[in-house]
Homo-oligomer: A and B are copies of this chain.
Amino acid sequence: MSFQATEDDPAEAILARIHARGGAATIYDIAELAGVNPSTVSRALGKPGRISAATAAKVRAAAERLDFRVNPMARALQTGKTNMLGLVLADITNPVVFGMVRGAEHAAAEAGYTLVIAESQESGENEAEAIERLLPSVDGLVLAATRMQAGATSDLAARKPLILVNRAVDGVASVLPDIAAGVTQLLDHLAALGHRSVVFLAGPDTSWASARRWAEVLAAAEQRDLAVVEIGPNQPTIEGGRDALRRVQASHATAVIAYNDLMAIGLMQEAAAHGIHIPDQLSVAGFDDIFGSELITPPLTTVASDLGEAGRRAVRRLLGADGEGEADADDALLPTWLIARGSTGPAPRG
Using CB atoms and an 8 Å cutoff, list the residues of chain A in contact with chain B: 23-24, 69-74, 76-77, 80, 82, 84, 92-93, 95, 98-99, 101-102, 105-106, 109, 114-119, 130, 132-137, 265, 269, 291-292, 295-297
Contact = CB atoms under 8 A, between A and B. Distances in A.
7 contacts: A71-B136, A84-B137, A95-B95, A95-B292, A114-B133, A295-B296, A296-B296
A105 B73 CA distance: 22
Contact of A116 (B74, B115, B119): B115
Contacts of A77: 71, 73-74, 77
A118 B109 CA distance: 8
A133 to B, nearest CB: 7
A269 B23 CA distance: 53
Nearest to A87: B117
B69 A132 contact: yes
A99 B95 CA distance: 11
A29 to B, nearest CB: 15
Given A93-B291, A292-B295, A295-B296, A69 B136 contact: yes
A180 to B, nearest CB: 27
A184 B283 CA distance: 42
B130 A72 contact: no
A128 to B, nearest CB: 13
A72 B136 contact: yes
Contacts of A105: 92, 117-119
A121 to B, nearest CB: 9
A73 B76 contact: yes
Contact of A102 (B73, B95, B114, B119): B119
B93 A99 contact: yes
Closest 10 CB pairs of A and B: A292-B292, A297-B297, A73-B76, A93-B98, A73-B77, A116-B116, A295-B296, A73-B73, A92-B102, A72-B137
